[in-house]
Structure 1
Amino acid sequence: MTQQQTVTVAHMDGSSAARAAHAFRLIYAEAFAGPPFHETEDDVAAAFRRFPLQTANPTFRAALARTRDDEPVGMAYGHMLAPEAVWWDELTEPVSDDMRREDGHRTFGLMEFAVREPWRGQGVARRLHTTLLGAVRAERVLLNVHPASEAASAAYRAWGYRKVGEGRPGGPGADLHDVMLLDLR
Protein backbone atom coordinates (compact mmCIF):
# COMPACT_ATOMS: atom_id res chain seq x y z
CA MET A 1 0.00 0.00 0.00
CA THR A 2 1.38 3.46 -0.88
CA GLN A 3 1.56 6.32 1.57
CA GLN A 4 -1.01 8.27 -0.49
CA GLN A 5 -3.62 5.56 0.10
CA THR A 6 -3.18 5.86 3.86
CA VAL A 7 -3.50 9.66 3.98
CA THR A 8 -6.72 11.44 4.91
CA VAL A 9 -7.30 15.17 4.55
CA ALA A 10 -9.58 17.02 6.95
CA HIS A 11 -11.00 20.52 6.71
CA MET A 12 -10.57 22.61 9.86
CA ASP A 13 -11.88 25.90 11.13
CA GLY A 14 -9.78 28.12 13.36
CA SER A 15 -10.59 26.46 16.67
CA SER A 16 -9.88 22.93 15.40
CA ALA A 17 -6.65 24.10 13.76
CA ALA A 18 -5.58 25.79 17.00
CA ARG A 19 -6.07 22.49 18.84
CA ALA A 20 -3.84 20.80 16.22
CA ALA A 21 -1.14 23.51 16.28
CA HIS A 22 1.56 20.95 17.11
CA ALA A 23 0.82 19.09 13.84
CA PHE A 24 0.93 22.30 11.78
CA ARG A 25 4.18 23.30 13.49
CA LEU A 26 5.82 19.91 12.82
CA ILE A 27 4.94 20.06 9.11
CA TYR A 28 6.02 23.70 8.81
CA ALA A 29 9.35 23.13 10.56
CA GLU A 30 10.26 20.13 8.44
CA ALA A 31 8.99 21.39 5.09
CA PHE A 32 10.62 24.81 5.33
CA ALA A 33 13.96 23.80 6.93
CA GLY A 34 15.71 23.17 3.62
CA PRO A 35 16.33 25.23 0.52
CA PRO A 36 15.19 27.70 -0.58
CA PHE A 37 13.62 28.64 2.76
CA HIS A 38 16.21 27.68 5.41
CA GLU A 39 13.79 28.33 8.28
CA THR A 40 15.48 28.09 11.66
CA GLU A 41 13.87 27.08 14.95
CA ASP A 42 13.61 30.82 15.74
CA ASP A 43 11.75 31.36 12.44
CA VAL A 44 9.38 28.51 13.26
CA ALA A 45 8.80 29.88 16.76
CA ALA A 46 8.00 33.32 15.31
CA ALA A 47 5.56 31.82 12.79
CA PHE A 48 3.76 29.94 15.53
CA ARG A 49 3.55 32.93 17.84
CA ARG A 50 1.29 34.36 15.08
CA PHE A 51 -0.71 31.14 14.66
CA PRO A 52 -3.15 31.74 17.57
CA LEU A 53 -4.01 35.17 16.16
CA GLN A 54 -4.47 33.73 12.68
CA THR A 55 -6.71 30.89 13.87
CA ALA A 56 -8.80 33.39 15.86
CA ASN A 57 -9.80 35.11 12.62
CA PRO A 58 -13.40 34.01 11.91
CA THR A 59 -12.54 33.49 8.21
CA PHE A 60 -9.57 31.20 8.96
CA ARG A 61 -9.73 27.86 7.13
CA ALA A 62 -7.24 24.99 7.08
CA ALA A 63 -6.71 21.51 5.71
CA LEU A 64 -4.56 18.94 7.47
CA ALA A 65 -3.36 15.65 5.99
CA ARG A 66 -2.52 12.73 8.28
CA THR A 67 -1.71 9.06 7.93
CA ARG A 68 -3.94 6.35 9.34
CA ASP A 69 -1.52 6.32 12.28
CA ASP A 70 -2.25 10.05 12.85
CA GLU A 71 1.14 11.22 11.58
CA PRO A 72 0.88 14.78 10.14
CA VAL A 73 2.03 14.87 6.51
CA GLY A 74 0.74 18.11 4.97
CA MET A 75 -1.11 21.33 5.70
CA ALA A 76 -2.62 24.40 4.08
CA TYR A 77 -4.19 27.41 5.74
CA GLY A 78 -5.19 31.02 5.36
CA HIS A 79 -7.99 33.53 5.77
CA MET A 80 -9.85 36.23 3.91
CA LEU A 81 -7.94 39.45 3.31
CA ALA A 82 -9.25 42.45 5.20
CA PRO A 83 -9.67 45.83 3.47
CA GLU A 84 -6.44 47.03 5.13
CA ALA A 85 -4.42 43.93 4.14
CA VAL A 86 -0.77 44.68 3.39
CA TRP A 87 -0.23 41.88 0.86
CA TRP A 88 -0.69 44.22 -2.09
CA ASP A 89 1.68 46.80 -0.53
CA GLU A 90 4.52 44.24 -0.55
CA LEU A 91 4.61 44.05 -4.35
CA THR A 92 7.65 45.55 -6.05
CA GLU A 93 5.46 47.11 -8.77
CA PRO A 94 2.01 48.54 -8.06
CA VAL A 95 -1.11 46.87 -9.44
CA SER A 96 -4.38 48.54 -10.40
CA ASP A 97 -6.75 49.80 -7.74
CA ASP A 98 -9.30 47.24 -8.90
CA MET A 99 -6.79 44.39 -8.50
CA ARG A 100 -5.85 45.44 -4.96
CA ARG A 101 -9.37 46.21 -3.75
CA GLU A 102 -10.24 44.13 -0.68
CA ASP A 103 -13.46 44.06 1.31
CA GLY A 104 -12.95 41.10 3.63
CA HIS A 105 -14.91 38.77 1.31
CA ARG A 106 -13.16 39.01 -2.05
CA THR A 107 -9.77 37.34 -1.59
CA PHE A 108 -8.65 34.33 0.39
CA GLY A 109 -4.99 34.67 1.39
CA LEU A 110 -3.32 31.26 1.30
CA MET A 111 -0.65 31.83 3.95
CA GLU A 112 1.04 28.46 4.32
CA PHE A 113 1.02 25.30 2.24
CA ALA A 114 3.42 22.40 2.75
CA VAL A 115 3.79 18.65 2.41
CA ARG A 116 6.55 16.73 4.19
CA GLU A 117 9.17 15.19 1.90
CA PRO A 118 8.17 11.49 2.07
CA TRP A 119 4.65 12.30 0.85
CA ARG A 120 5.48 14.71 -1.97
CA GLY A 121 4.60 13.76 -5.52
CA GLN A 122 1.69 11.56 -4.44
CA GLY A 123 -1.24 13.94 -4.83
CA VAL A 124 -1.38 15.02 -1.19
CA ALA A 125 -0.87 18.70 -2.07
CA ARG A 126 -3.69 18.60 -4.62
CA ARG A 127 -6.01 17.01 -2.08
CA LEU A 128 -5.09 19.63 0.55
CA HIS A 129 -5.74 22.42 -1.95
CA THR A 130 -9.10 20.98 -3.04
CA THR A 131 -10.23 20.41 0.55
CA LEU A 132 -9.19 23.88 1.67
CA LEU A 133 -10.79 25.73 -1.23
CA GLY A 134 -13.95 23.64 -0.90
CA ALA A 135 -14.59 25.52 2.34
CA VAL A 136 -13.75 28.99 1.01
CA ARG A 137 -16.30 31.44 -0.33
CA ALA A 138 -14.23 34.01 -2.22
CA GLU A 139 -13.76 35.36 -5.72
CA ARG A 140 -10.06 34.54 -5.74
CA VAL A 141 -7.07 33.13 -3.88
CA LEU A 142 -3.78 34.99 -3.42
CA LEU A 143 -0.46 33.46 -2.40
CA ASN A 144 3.28 34.08 -2.39
CA VAL A 145 5.65 31.38 -3.63
CA HIS A 146 9.43 31.40 -3.59
CA PRO A 147 10.51 31.18 -7.25
CA ALA A 148 13.21 28.64 -6.36
CA SER A 149 10.47 26.32 -5.13
CA GLU A 150 9.95 25.02 -8.64
CA ALA A 151 7.65 22.11 -7.78
CA ALA A 152 5.29 24.37 -5.85
CA SER A 153 5.28 26.98 -8.60
CA ALA A 154 4.55 24.33 -11.22
CA ALA A 155 1.70 22.90 -9.13
CA TYR A 156 0.12 26.32 -8.66
CA ARG A 157 0.31 27.02 -12.39
CA ALA A 158 -1.23 23.60 -13.15
CA TRP A 159 -4.08 24.41 -10.74
CA GLY A 160 -4.85 27.67 -12.58
CA TYR A 161 -2.87 30.29 -10.67
CA ARG A 162 -1.22 33.09 -12.60
CA LYS A 163 1.62 35.36 -11.58
CA VAL A 164 0.44 38.93 -10.98
CA GLY A 165 3.67 40.38 -9.63
CA GLU A 166 6.60 39.96 -7.29
CA GLY A 167 6.77 40.88 -3.65
CA ARG A 168 8.77 40.69 -0.47
CA PRO A 169 6.48 39.17 2.16
CA GLY A 170 7.74 40.23 5.53
CA GLY A 171 9.34 43.45 4.37
CA PRO A 172 12.34 44.91 2.55
CA GLY A 173 14.96 42.32 3.64
CA ALA A 174 12.85 39.30 2.67
CA ASP A 175 13.44 37.10 -0.37
CA LEU A 176 11.60 38.06 -3.52
CA HIS A 177 8.51 35.87 -4.08
CA ASP A 178 6.14 35.42 -7.00
CA VAL A 179 2.65 36.68 -6.14
CA MET A 180 0.07 34.38 -7.70
CA LEU A 181 -3.68 34.66 -8.07
CA LEU A 182 -6.37 32.06 -8.76
CA ASP A 183 -9.76 33.26 -9.97
CA LEU A 184 -12.55 31.15 -8.44
CA ARG A 185 -15.45 32.69 -10.34
Structure 2
Amino acid sequence: MTRQGAVGVQQMDGSAAVRAEEAFRTVYAEAFAEPPHDEGEDGVAAAFRRFPVQARDRTFRAALARSEDGEPVGMAYGFMLGPGAGWWDELTEPVSEDMRREDGHRTFGLMELAVRGPWRGRGVARRLHGALLDGLGAERVLLNVHPRSEAASAAYRAWGYRKVGEARPWGASANLHDVMLLTLR
Protein backbone atom coordinates (compact mmCIF):
# COMPACT_ATOMS: atom_id res chain seq x y z
CA MET A 1 0.00 0.00 0.00
CA THR A 2 1.40 3.36 -0.96
CA ARG A 3 0.49 7.00 -0.54
CA GLN A 4 2.12 7.94 -3.82
CA GLY A 5 0.25 8.83 -6.98
CA ALA A 6 -3.07 10.38 -7.87
CA VAL A 7 -6.42 9.44 -6.40
CA GLY A 8 -9.49 9.46 -8.62
CA VAL A 9 -13.05 9.84 -7.34
CA GLN A 10 -15.99 8.31 -9.18
CA GLN A 11 -19.68 9.11 -8.60
CA MET A 12 -21.98 6.09 -8.65
CA ASP A 13 -25.64 5.25 -8.53
CA GLY A 14 -26.90 2.28 -6.53
CA SER A 15 -26.40 -0.39 -9.17
CA ALA A 16 -22.81 0.72 -9.85
CA ALA A 17 -22.09 0.82 -6.11
CA VAL A 18 -23.40 -2.73 -5.66
CA ARG A 19 -21.13 -3.90 -8.48
CA ALA A 20 -18.22 -2.26 -6.60
CA GLU A 21 -19.37 -3.55 -3.19
CA GLU A 22 -16.07 -5.28 -2.44
CA ALA A 23 -14.21 -1.96 -2.76
CA PHE A 24 -16.69 -0.27 -0.40
CA ARG A 25 -16.35 -3.18 2.03
CA THR A 26 -12.53 -2.97 1.94
CA VAL A 27 -12.56 0.72 2.88
CA TYR A 28 -15.28 0.28 5.49
CA ALA A 29 -13.62 -2.72 7.16
CA GLU A 30 -10.25 -0.99 7.47
CA ALA A 31 -11.46 2.48 8.43
CA PHE A 32 -14.01 1.35 11.00
CA ALA A 33 -11.79 -1.30 12.60
CA GLU A 34 -9.98 1.53 14.36
CA PRO A 35 -11.11 3.18 17.60
CA PRO A 36 -13.59 4.53 18.46
CA HIS A 37 -15.62 2.28 16.14
CA ASP A 38 -13.77 -1.00 16.69
CA GLU A 39 -15.88 -2.77 14.05
CA GLY A 40 -15.16 -6.46 13.75
CA GLU A 41 -16.23 -8.98 11.15
CA ASP A 42 -19.80 -9.10 12.50
CA GLY A 43 -20.19 -5.32 12.23
CA VAL A 44 -18.83 -5.26 8.70
CA ALA A 45 -21.11 -8.15 7.71
CA ALA A 46 -24.13 -6.32 9.16
CA ALA A 47 -23.25 -3.10 7.30
CA PHE A 48 -22.98 -4.98 4.03
CA ARG A 49 -26.25 -6.81 4.55
CA ARG A 50 -27.80 -3.30 4.62
CA PHE A 51 -25.71 -1.93 1.74
CA PRO A 52 -27.53 -3.56 -1.22
CA VAL A 53 -30.89 -2.72 0.35
CA GLN A 54 -29.87 0.93 0.78
CA ALA A 55 -28.46 0.99 -2.76
CA ARG A 56 -31.86 0.02 -4.17
CA ASP A 57 -33.29 3.34 -3.00
CA ARG A 58 -33.85 5.43 -6.15
CA THR A 59 -32.10 8.42 -4.50
CA PHE A 60 -29.00 6.46 -3.43
CA ARG A 61 -25.70 7.90 -4.55
CA ALA A 62 -22.13 6.99 -3.79
CA ALA A 63 -18.58 8.10 -4.43
CA LEU A 64 -15.57 5.82 -4.51
CA ALA A 65 -11.93 6.93 -4.45
CA ARG A 66 -9.23 4.72 -5.96
CA SER A 67 -5.48 5.03 -6.29
CA GLU A 68 -3.81 5.08 -9.71
CA ASP A 69 -3.50 1.29 -9.58
CA GLY A 70 -7.20 0.85 -8.75
CA GLU A 71 -6.87 0.21 -5.03
CA PRO A 72 -9.91 1.51 -3.11
CA VAL A 73 -8.85 4.31 -0.76
CA GLY A 74 -12.12 5.98 0.31
CA MET A 75 -15.88 5.85 -0.04
CA ALA A 76 -19.05 7.76 0.77
CA TYR A 77 -22.74 7.01 0.28
CA GLY A 78 -26.24 7.92 1.31
CA PHE A 79 -29.73 8.73 0.09
CA MET A 80 -32.57 11.21 0.50
CA LEU A 81 -34.71 10.91 3.60
CA GLY A 82 -38.36 10.25 2.86
CA PRO A 83 -41.45 11.18 4.85
CA GLY A 84 -41.45 9.41 8.18
CA ALA A 85 -37.68 8.83 8.11
CA GLY A 86 -36.66 7.24 11.41
CA TRP A 87 -33.42 9.23 11.71
CA TRP A 88 -35.07 12.00 13.73
CA ASP A 89 -36.71 9.47 16.06
CA GLU A 90 -33.27 8.29 17.26
CA LEU A 91 -32.33 11.65 18.81
CA THR A 92 -32.09 11.65 22.59
CA GLU A 93 -33.91 15.02 22.71
CA PRO A 94 -36.74 15.86 20.31
CA VAL A 95 -36.34 18.56 17.68
CA SER A 96 -39.03 20.82 16.22
CA GLU A 97 -41.54 19.50 13.71
CA ASP A 98 -40.09 21.87 11.12
CA MET A 99 -36.58 20.45 11.68
CA ARG A 100 -37.79 16.85 11.32
CA ARG A 101 -40.05 17.42 8.31
CA GLU A 102 -38.95 15.23 5.40
CA ASP A 103 -40.42 14.96 1.92
CA GLY A 104 -37.89 12.86 0.00
CA HIS A 105 -36.20 15.96 -1.46
CA ARG A 106 -35.22 18.08 1.55
CA THR A 107 -32.51 16.09 3.36
CA PHE A 108 -29.74 13.83 2.13
CA GLY A 109 -28.72 11.26 4.75
CA LEU A 110 -24.96 10.73 4.58
CA MET A 111 -24.67 7.12 5.75
CA GLU A 112 -20.91 6.58 5.48
CA LEU A 113 -17.79 8.54 4.63
CA ALA A 114 -14.41 6.91 5.23
CA VAL A 115 -10.83 7.01 3.99
CA ARG A 116 -8.24 4.32 4.63
CA GLY A 117 -5.37 5.37 6.91
CA PRO A 118 -2.52 5.77 4.41
CA TRP A 119 -4.54 8.24 2.31
CA ARG A 120 -5.84 10.46 5.11
CA GLY A 121 -4.74 14.07 5.26
CA ARG A 122 -4.65 14.41 1.47
CA GLY A 123 -8.10 15.91 0.87
CA VAL A 124 -9.66 12.60 -0.22
CA ALA A 125 -12.56 12.87 2.24
CA ARG A 126 -13.36 16.42 1.08
CA ARG A 127 -13.30 15.27 -2.56
CA LEU A 128 -15.57 12.31 -1.78
CA HIS A 129 -17.97 14.61 0.08
CA GLY A 130 -17.98 17.08 -2.82
CA ALA A 131 -18.56 14.38 -5.42
CA LEU A 132 -21.39 12.87 -3.39
CA LEU A 133 -23.19 16.21 -3.06
CA ASP A 134 -22.46 17.54 -6.56
CA GLY A 135 -25.77 18.28 -8.28
CA LEU A 136 -27.76 16.88 -5.37
CA GLY A 137 -30.42 19.60 -5.15
CA ALA A 138 -31.17 18.91 -1.47
CA GLU A 139 -31.67 21.65 1.10
CA ARG A 140 -29.44 19.98 3.67
CA VAL A 141 -27.30 16.98 4.63
CA LEU A 142 -27.67 14.99 7.85
CA LEU A 143 -25.13 12.59 9.38
CA ASN A 144 -24.12 10.86 12.59
CA VAL A 145 -20.52 10.95 13.80
CA HIS A 146 -18.96 9.32 16.84
CA PRO A 147 -17.84 12.21 19.09
CA ARG A 148 -14.46 10.51 19.67
CA SER A 149 -13.87 10.55 15.90
CA GLU A 150 -12.12 13.85 16.39
CA ALA A 151 -10.66 14.22 12.88
CA ALA A 152 -14.02 13.45 11.25
CA SER A 153 -15.89 15.79 13.58
CA ALA A 154 -13.38 18.57 12.91
CA ALA A 155 -13.65 18.06 9.14
CA TYR A 156 -17.44 18.19 9.24
CA ARG A 157 -17.37 21.40 11.28
CA ALA A 158 -14.84 22.91 8.85
CA TRP A 159 -17.19 22.02 5.96
CA GLY A 160 -20.07 23.89 7.67
CA TYR A 161 -21.89 21.16 9.60
CA ARG A 162 -23.35 22.00 13.01
CA LYS A 163 -24.41 19.70 15.79
CA VAL A 164 -28.20 19.53 16.17
CA GLY A 165 -28.45 16.72 18.71
CA GLU A 166 -27.27 13.31 19.84
CA ALA A 167 -28.55 9.87 18.93
CA ARG A 168 -28.03 6.17 19.42
CA PRO A 169 -28.38 5.24 15.75
CA TRP A 170 -28.75 1.48 16.13
CA GLY A 171 -30.79 1.32 19.31
CA ALA A 172 -30.23 1.61 23.03
CA SER A 173 -27.04 -0.46 23.02
CA ALA A 174 -25.31 1.76 20.43
CA ASN A 175 -22.73 4.40 21.31
CA LEU A 176 -24.00 7.94 21.51
CA HIS A 177 -23.30 9.85 18.25
CA ASP A 178 -23.42 13.53 17.40
CA VAL A 179 -26.08 14.35 14.82
CA MET A 180 -24.79 17.02 12.45
CA LEU A 181 -26.56 19.06 9.81
CA LEU A 182 -25.18 20.98 6.83
CA THR A 183 -27.42 23.59 5.22
CA LEU A 184 -26.88 23.67 1.44
CA ARG A 185 -29.42 26.34 0.44
Count of residues paired in the alignment: 184
RMSD: 1.1
Residue equivalent to 2:138: 138
**2:94 maps to 1:97:** no
**2:119 maps to 1:119:** yes
Residue equivalent to 2:14: 14
Within 5 Å, give how 1:1-185 maps onto structure 2.
Answer: 3=3, 5-185=5-185
Give the Cα–Cα distance (whole angstroms) in 1 for the partners of residues 172 and 27 of structure 2: 27
Percent identity for Structure 1 against Structure 2: 75
Q: CA deviation at 1:41?
A: 0.3
Give the Cα–Cα distance (whole angstroms) in 2 for the partners of residues 35 and 135 of structure 1: 33
TM-score (norm 1): 0.97
After superposition, give the CA deviation of every residue in 1:9-65 in whole Å (9 maximum; x if it has no partner). 010011110100000000000000010001010110011011111111110000100
Give the Cα–Cα distance (whole angstroms) in 1 for the partners of residues 3 and 82 of structure 2: 38
- What secondary structure does 1:166 align onto? strand
Gapped regions of structure 2 (runs ≥ 5):
none
Q: CA deviation at 1:4?
A: 6.8
Gapped regions of structure 1 (runs ≥ 5):
none
Give the Cα–Cα distance (whole angstroms) in 1 for the partners of residues 113 and 8 of structure 2: 16
The runs of at least 4 consecutive aligned structure 1 residues that moved more than 2 Å come to 2-5
Q: CA deviation at 1:6?
A: 1.1
